[in-house]
Structure 1
Amino acid sequence: MICKRISDGSVAVTAEEPDDLLTLRRVIDRDDRVVSDTTRVIKLDREYARPDSGQRVRIRIALDVERVGLDYRLDRLRIQGVIAESNNEAVPRRSHHSLVIKPNDSFTLTKRTWSGLHRSLLKSSQGGAGFVLVAIDTGDCGIGRLKGTHLHTIPNIYSGYSGKRYKSSFKIEGFFDEVRVALASMVKKNDVVIIFGPGQTKNRLANHLQASRLGKGHRILVTEGVDSSGEDGLYTFTKSDSMREAISESKLARVSSIIDEIMTLASKKSARFAMGIEETKRAGRLGAVDSLVFSEKLLQETDEDAAIGLINEVQAQGAKTYSVDSSTDAGLRVDGLGGVVALLRFSVS
């Protein structure tokens, strides 16, 4: 997320990733003011115009927030409220409107009071390196970008290699060039490229990329332990020990370790963890939560405002909070555990 302070109470925000929308959902409250460009149907007021006809025009409005909601399936944040100001005289003040914020959209947020939690959430969402994963073999290549705990993939790239060397005029350098072009469209500043897969193709691709412009601007790592390529290889990597070794400081690695520790505690019948919304609420009221992991299931199947309130409350107490989704194995595991799990500082009976 890109944030720029405008004044003591206002910040210009640009959401870059789906995770940024969740951060904004946790920051924006009722009675805040959002200034953004949007479209609205302006009714025609002419003598022979049909009563229901109108023209959709682009306007800039200041919206006093009444309600905020997430749509995980479409990666959208919906902000509803009443129009306080507009640059178009045909738009009446105090009329209701709904803004839809998507990745790469920009707006200005004004709050009467910025809490330490709000500032911390915006600060932690800025910058940070991502990881571009490449699962390659001679036949195909899968590419995905891992930012936070969200994995975004593109369709597999196929080499057309037949496997019959004595009949084939196949040149693997052409395949590598296709992969390099696809990588160039995904990789961002400070990203690390991690290459894996069966055989020696991964090493040859790494050498090919090192000699290119992409290799001069980004760190390229080759890791062992994953013997699958394509999209299957990407998902295999995200739940492997190789992932934890290669990107041990990433959010996904930390989340995977927390889930594994909770499962170990469960097998020992320890009370130093919580599963599900009710157990987690009880632990949160006691200030017992050390780390909390939640998935989109928590927000979809419970009251969203109550879920956001719980997450913000435990983080304000000093707990670490992590969101996961179904794009990774960690998200699917948390879904199966009720949508939220927590590692506790002390046992809660």
Structure 2
Amino acid sequence: MITKTIDDNSISVIPEDSEDLLNLRRIIKKDDKVIGDTTRVLKQDKDYARPDKGERIKVRIELTVEKISLDDVLDKLRVGGTISESSNESVPNGSHHSFILKLNDGITISKKKWLPIEKKLLESSNDQISFVLVAIDTSDSGIARLRGTHLEFMPNIYSGSGGKRYKTSFNIEKFFEQVQQALSSIFKEGDTIVIFGPGETKKRFANFLEKSQKLQKFKIQLVDGIDSGGEDGIYIFTKSHTMQEIMSDSKLAKASSIIDQVMILANKKSRKFTMGYNETFNANQMGAVESLVFSDKAIQDNDEQQIMDFLNDAENKGVKIYSVDSSTDIGLRVTGLGGIVSLLRYTVES
């Protein structure tokens, strides 16, 4: 999340991924002020003008928040309320409006008083470790950027190598150039490029990148043991223990470790874990939750505001919280376990 403090009461924000939108859902409350740009259609009052025809204009408005909700679960945030200020007199104060906030949209949030947890949520994604994953072999390459627990995929890139028939004419350098160009479009300074796949192609591509001048200030991590290229290779990598080892500080690795521990405890018939919202809510009421992982299923199957209040209460108690989505196998596993799981500090009787 890109943030800029305007004054003691107002902070401008730009969400960069779905977790940022979720954090904003937890931050923005009823009666807060949200300032942003929107468009309105102004009807024409001219003679003979079509009654359905109007001019679309850009307006900057300040909204007093009445209702906030996640649209399409974690892809958009809808903020509705009453207009308290407008840059155009044709858009009157007191009328109702909704902002549809998407990734990379900017707004300013103004509160009478910012709570510590709200500022913590704003800052929580600023120091996230990001990785660009490359699963490559001689036939194709899969590329995805991992930020937090969300995977953003690019379309597979195919080399055009057709086996023995084309062996003499196949130019792997041109294939590497295509992959490098795709990497350049999503790579950001500070990212680590993680390369894996069958055979020696990954090492040749790593050497190619190191000689290149197009990607500056990057780190490369080579990974063995993932014998698939393309999108399949990336999915296999994110399920592997290798991922947990080399990305131990990433949110995805930490969330994966929690789920693995929950499954071990379940097999041992231990009660130091919970599955599902009700179990986890009750354990949190007792202060027993140490860490939890939830997916969008927890939001879909329960009252949205109730879930937000629960997450904020848990975070205030020092619980480590990780959100996951269906872009990864880990997100699908959590969904299959009721949408939310947690590790407990001590056993809680159900």
TM bin (shorter chain): over 0.9
C-alpha deviation, 1:328, in angstroms: 0.5
Task: Provide the residue aligned with 1:280 in structure 2.
Answer: 280
Check 1:41–1:140 CA distance in 2 against 1; reply closer, same or farther (3 A cut). Answer: same
Structure 2 counterpart of 1:174, one-letter code: K
Task: Provide the residue aligned with 1:310 in structure 2.
Answer: 310
Task: Provide the residue aligned with 1:329 in structure 2.
Answer: 329
Where does structure 2 lack aligned partners over 5 or more consecutive residues?
none
Check 1:108–1:340 CA distance in 2 against 1; reply closer, same or farther (3 A cut). Answer: same
Give the match's secondary structure for 1:156. strand
Structure 1 counterpart of 2:333, one-letter code: R
Task: Tell me the distance in 1 between the aligned counterparts of 2:129 and 2:267.
Answer: 35
Task: Provide the residue aligned with 1:145 in structure 2.
Answer: 145
Give the match's secondary structure for 1:310. helix
Task: Provide the residue aligned with 1:34 in structure 2.
Answer: 34
Check 1:176–1:116 CA distance in 2 against 1; reply closer, same or farther (3 A cut). Answer: same
C-alpha deviation, 1:46, in angstroms: 3.6
Task: Provide the residue aligned with 2:221 in structure 1.
Answer: 221
Check 1:41–1:339 CA distance in 2 against 1; reply closer, same or farther (3 A cut). Answer: same
**Are 2:161 and 2:167, in contact at CA under 8 Å, matched by a contact in 1?**
no
Give the match's secondary structure for 1:331. helix
Give the match's secondary structure for 1:113. coil
Check 1:164–1:52 CA distance in 2 against 1; reply closer, same or farther (3 A cut). Answer: closer
- More displaced stretch, 2-11 vs 160-169: 160-169
- More displaced stretch, 248-257 vs 37-46: 37-46
Task: Tell me the distance in 2 between the aligned counterparts of 1:92 and 1:308.
Answer: 32
Task: Tell me the distance in 1 between the aligned counterparts of 2:287 and 2:93.
Answer: 44
Return the TM-score normalized by structure 2: 0.96
Task: Tell me the distance in 2 between the aligned counterparts of 1:86 and 1:19.
Answer: 30
Task: Provide the residue aligned with 1:118 in structure 2.
Answer: 118
Give the match's secondary structure for 1:269. coil
Check 1:167–1:90 CA distance in 2 against 1; reply closer, same or farther (3 A cut). Answer: closer
Give the match's secondary structure for 2:346. coil
Following superposition of structure 1 onto structure 2, how do residues 8-27 of structure 1 map, counting pairs within 5 Å? 8-27=8-27
C-alpha RMSD of the superposition:
1.4
Deviation string, structure 1 residues 249-291 (Cα, Å, up to 9, x no partner): 1101000100010111111111111111111111111111110
Task: Provide the residue aligned with 1:83 in structure 2.
Answer: 83
Structure 1 counterpart of 2:286, one-letter code: L
Give the match's secondary structure for 1:249. coil
Task: Tell me the distance in 2 between the aligned counterparts of 1:120 and 1:166.
Answer: 56
Task: Tell me the distance in 2 between the aligned counterparts of 1:74 and 1:168.
Answer: 48
Task: Tell me the distance in 1 between the aligned counterparts of 2:194 and 2:274.
Answer: 34
- Asked whether 1:156 is paired with 2:156, we answer yes
Structure 2 counterpart of 1:331, one-letter code: G
**Are 2:129 and 2:250, in contact at CA under 8 Å, matched by a contact in 1?**
no
**Are 2:77 and 2:101, in contact at CA under 8 Å, matched by a contact in 1?**
yes
Structure 1 counterpart of 2:243, one-letter code: M
**Are 2:33 and 2:65, in contact at CA under 8 Å, matched by a contact in 1?**
yes
Task: Tell me the distance in 1 between the aligned counterparts of 2:221 and 2:213.
Answer: 16
**Are 1:162 and 1:168, in contact at CA under 8 Å, matched by a contact in 2?**
no
C-alpha deviation, 1:346, in angstroms: 1.1
C-alpha deviation, 1:216, in angstroms: 3.8
Following superposition of structure 1 onto structure 2, how do residues 263-274 of structure 1 map, counting pairs within 5 Å? 263-274=263-274
